[in-house]
Structure 1
Amino acid sequence: MEEFNILEFLKYYWNKILIVAIVTLLGLILSIVYTAKIQVPVYEAKTSLVLVNNMGENTTITTTDITINKNLVSTYREIIQSKLILNKTIENLNLDISYEELKKNVKVGNVEDTEIILIYVYNEDARLSRKIANEIASVFESEIVGIFNIENISIIDEATVGEEPYNVHVLKQIVLGTGLGFVLSSIIIAICFYFDDTVKNESDAERELGVPILGAVPKYKEKVSSGKASDLIICKDSKSGISEAIRTLRTNLQFSSIDRKIKTILVTSSVPGEGKSFVASNLAVALANSGQRVLLVDCDIRKGRQHRIFGSPNKKGLSNLLLEDVAQVYRTYINESDVPNLYLMFKGVTPPNPSELLNSDKNKKLVSSLSNNFDIIIFDSAPINGLADSLVMSTLVDGVIIVTACKETSKTLLKTVKKDLENVGANILGIVLNRTDTNKSKYYGHYYQ
């Protein structure tokens, strides 16, 4: 959970605008379907009664009469909904409903500061609702004489029914349904953003982890004819935003350490799928293009894929070499690539004990021997989370680059990875933010002081 940043939220919201549109449209469609197909139209019939003075030949209405009648209004309202009146109505109209069912559909009110009583009846049948309302008024008018021995009720209007169902408001319901879809989707997106723990941009990563951003590599969406994306973008399209980002990463590495020359670099990530092998291979090509003698070693001997990226067989590699006399035969495991100055060592067969192999004295001697024969060595290592492989390798190299996927990698997990590396004394050179949204980054050309 993090501080709510309105600007970042608006960017996040815009990226989810399709979801908002779909949910809003769904709300519109559901409201139309409900109104047209599901909602049962109910009609309202209304009739009115008035309490009148009934004093024989004395036709003068006094204030006392009005006060008494007003007090009777509340009593009459209860009587109208009593079993006496409603059961009589059911019997007279031969209705196939119970007293409780009829009572639910009868409402009795009055006009404020008057002696007028209003009877409302609701039913799916407009004509029936009118008949019931008139019958209730008629039954009440006749029965009240026997209850109070007075005749002070007069029916003002016969029941009337509106032309349209009282409970169906097409425009209002469509607007409410559409608005509910919009508001609900917006609230869900806001909640998701608030609890989103992923790294969203360069500033976010640098602020949270306190390590420099070496580069930001944009997404690559173009597909080759085979249907798969080409990993070696810097070879395929040297003028693309990705190629520029990789060259910027190459430049920033030169400023990442002033005190000593960085010759051996480990490229790793928190979890699989963040693009570490993609970054490692393209970085190795960029370094080789600058005239340096570069070796790319695939030390992810569990699931390494550098042999697939460069289109070469994985008949033998690092895991095989570490079972032999390293000093005597390591040169035979180094393959030339189509890129001048770039050499490759693939992962080899998958052993049952990768961490033990990488932590062996043979591997330490190999790293030292390779350093004496190349200007720079890039080690493409396994993801750190849950594995010891990269932690072991990080103690043998000059520096570590952590590749993290924009809007995919958890900041909590990234902090854990950083702590794990620091615990073994690794030199973290910085972070490469992969799959950013734009082709330009404010970190291009960033100078590390």
Structure 2
Amino acid sequence: MELRQYVSLLRKWLWLVVICTVVAGGTAYVVSKNSTPIYQASAILMVNQGASTTSADTAYADILTSERLAKTYARLLTSRPVLQETASRLGIDSEPLKEAVTVSSVRDTQLLEVSVEGPNPELLAQIGNVLPAVFIEQNQELLLGRMSESKASLEREIASVEADIARTQEALSAATDENQRIRLETSLAQYRSTYSNIVFSYQQIRLAEAQATDNIVVAEPAEVPLRPIRPRTMTNTLLAAVVGAMIAVGAAFLIEYLDDTIKTPDDVARVSGLSTLGAIARLKETGGTRQLVAWLQTKAPESEAYRTLRTNIQFSSVDKPVRSLMVTSAGPSEGKSTTAANLAVVMAQTGQRVVLVD
């Protein structure tokens, strides 16, 4: 099919393309306008891994650990205890939060984005701010709870060693024998060494607590959204209009592909392999009778078409003049008699003797 045929086909079915485009675009516009607007509020969290106290060379490892923690926290932020506590503080049901809250980690960063979607923008902003706060509190309680037992044990040991040091010092002050004093001084040195080690361990746990409390911070709190994220009325309308136009064009090409009727001289040549001798326009009937336009309207375009047909018939067989012609068609009332009568008239006008049998 040539380009001009495609253009002709589109012009033929332009009305269908326009109708489908308008209907699809209008439907999408109405549906989008009547849909409940959905808003989105987002908060940004930053995950900090506590700096290593051994060497600055571990900074890169700390960053990688923070990224892995971010992925872990992204899952924990939507856990059932966090959602239930958030819903309890806001006085809402926790079930809708499962579908409304999404948490994603920003690639190659230590950031988490907490997004909440729903029809109430004020409530979304509250959820976006309360949810991280609840998670931070629960995460701190979890981390500190694991260290509280160790701290309590070390505190008991410190108190016990302090008591041993105090008793040893009293005994040393009251001792008069030199050997006894040497033994007490040795014990006192051991107690003090043990005390120093225990205090050092205790300070390490306190340092770990301090690092844990600063593990997650809110980098950007959620704000009340001013515009809905969907429905996007103009985008939906344009997309629907484009899809409608594409469907109409596809339907037009399908109809033309399935249509095997002959409409043009090119169709005749393509199907039969024969050339077309002429084309006669459809004649308008007046008063219910057929017109002999070749006799009554000799200057009409239809009369000229019949004369062209006569000439083409004569030149199609120059060596052997045509003596008889049969006019037929695939169905009734397609103009066989009209064509035969007018063709007989134009042939008679050249001086030939013509007999018409209908």
Higher share in helix: 2
Please give the alpha-carbon distance, in whole angstroms, between the structure 2 residues aligned to 1:231 and 1:94: 89
Per the alignment, residue 123 of structure 2 pairs with: 128
Q: Name which of 249, 259, 262 aligns with 1:199.
A: 262
Q: Which runs of 5+ in 1 are unaligned?
A: 294-374, 380-449
Q: Which runs of 5+ in 2 are unaligned?
A: 145-211
Cα distance change on mapping 1:47 and 1:147 into 2, 3 Å: same
Give the counterpart letter for 1:163 in structure 2.
L
Q: Name which of 33, 38, 54 aligns with 1:36.
A: 33
Cα distance change on mapping 1:211 and 1:51 into 2, 3 Å: closer
- Per-residue CA deviations over 1:374-394 (Å, capped at 9, x if unaligned) read x33344xxxxxxxxxxxxxxx
Per the alignment, residue 132 of structure 2 pairs with: 137
Please give the alpha-carbon distance, in whole angstroms, between the structure 1 residues aligned to 2:296 and 2:88: 90
Q: How does 1:384-399 map to 2 (within 5 A)?
A: none
Give the counterpart letter for 1:140 in structure 2.
F
Q: How does 1:243-392 map to 2 (within 5 A)?
A: 243-258=303-318, 262-272=322-332, 274-290=334-350, 375-379=354-358
Per the alignment, residue 45 of structure 1 pairs with: 41
Per the alignment, residue 117 of structure 1 pairs with: 112
- Per-residue CA deviations over 1:86-128 (Å, capped at 9, x if unaligned) read 2332333232462xx4322222112232212110011012112
| TM-aligned CA deviation for residue 36 of structure 1 | 1.9
- Asked whether the equivalents of residues 40 and 117 of structure 2 are also in contact (C-alpha less than 8 Å), the reply is yes
Cα distance change on mapping 1:210 and 1:53 into 2, 3 Å: closer
Please give the alpha-carbon distance, in whole angstroms, between the structure 2 residues aligned to 1:67 and 1:102: 30
- Per-residue CA deviations over 1:207-243 (Å, capped at 9, x if unaligned) read 43133422111345x675x6x7965444564333222
Q: Normalised by the size of structure 1, how large is the TM-score?
A: 0.56
Cα distance change on mapping 1:140 and 1:116 into 2, 3 Å: same
Matched, 1:155 2:218: yes
> Would you identify which runs of 4 or more consecutive aligned residues in structure 1 move more than 6 Å?
55-58
Matched, 1:242 2:302: yes
- Per-residue CA deviations over 1:130-164 (Å, capped at 9, x if unaligned) read 22222221221122223444431222232124321
* Secondary structure, aligned partner of 2:298: coil
| TM-aligned CA deviation for residue 263 of structure 1 | 4.5
- Per-residue CA deviations over 1:242-292 (Å, capped at 9, x if unaligned) read 222122222333334456554443221123454334423433443455555
Per the alignment, residue 215 of structure 1 pairs with: 278
Please give the alpha-carbon distance, in whole angstroms, between the structure 2 residues aligned to 1:236 and 1:96: 90
Per the alignment, residue 97 of structure 2 pairs with: 102
Q: Normalised by the size of structure 2, how large is the TM-score?
A: 0.69
Identity of aligned residues (%): 28
Please give the alpha-carbon distance, in whole angstroms, between the structure 2 residues aligned to 1:169 and 1:271: 55
* Secondary structure, aligned partner of 2:274: coil
Please give the alpha-carbon distance, in whole angstroms, between the structure 2 residues aligned to 1:23 and 1:231: 42
Please give the alpha-carbon distance, in whole angstroms, between the structure 1 residues aligned to 2:36 and 2:301: 59
Cα distance change on mapping 1:230 and 1:72 into 2, 3 Å: farther
Q: RMSD in angstroms over aligned alpha carbons?
A: 3.2
- Asked whether the equivalents of residues 24 and 244 of structure 2 are also in contact (C-alpha less than 8 Å), the reply is yes
Give the counterpart letter for 1:31 in structure 2.
A
Q: Name which of 227, 239, 243 aligns with 1:180.
A: 243
Please give the alpha-carbon distance, in whole angstroms, between the structure 1 residues aligned to 2:97 and 2:293: 76
More displaced 10-residue stretch of structure 1: 210-219 or 74-83: 210-219
Please give the alpha-carbon distance, in whole angstroms, between the structure 2 residues aligned to 1:223 and 1:21: 34
Please give the alpha-carbon distance, in whole angstroms, between the structure 2 residues aligned to 1:104 and 1:272: 68
Give the counterpart letter for 1:209 in structure 2.
S
Give the counterpart letter for 1:40 in structure 2.
T
Please give the alpha-carbon distance, in whole angstroms, between the structure 2 residues aligned to 1:171 and 1:140: 39
Cα distance change on mapping 1:234 and 1:114 into 2, 3 Å: same
Give the counterpart letter for 1:74 in structure 2.
K
* Secondary structure, aligned partner of 2:260: coil
- Per-residue CA deviations over 1:279-324 (Å, capped at 9, x if unaligned) read 234334434555555xxxxxxxxxxxxxxxxxxxxxxxxxxxxxxx
Please give the alpha-carbon distance, in whole angstroms, between the structure 2 residues aligned to 1:247 and 1:219: 16
Matched, 1:168 2:164: no
- Asked whether the equivalents of residues 294 and 302 of structure 2 are also in contact (C-alpha less than 8 Å), the reply is yes
Give the counterpart letter for 1:81 in structure 2.
T
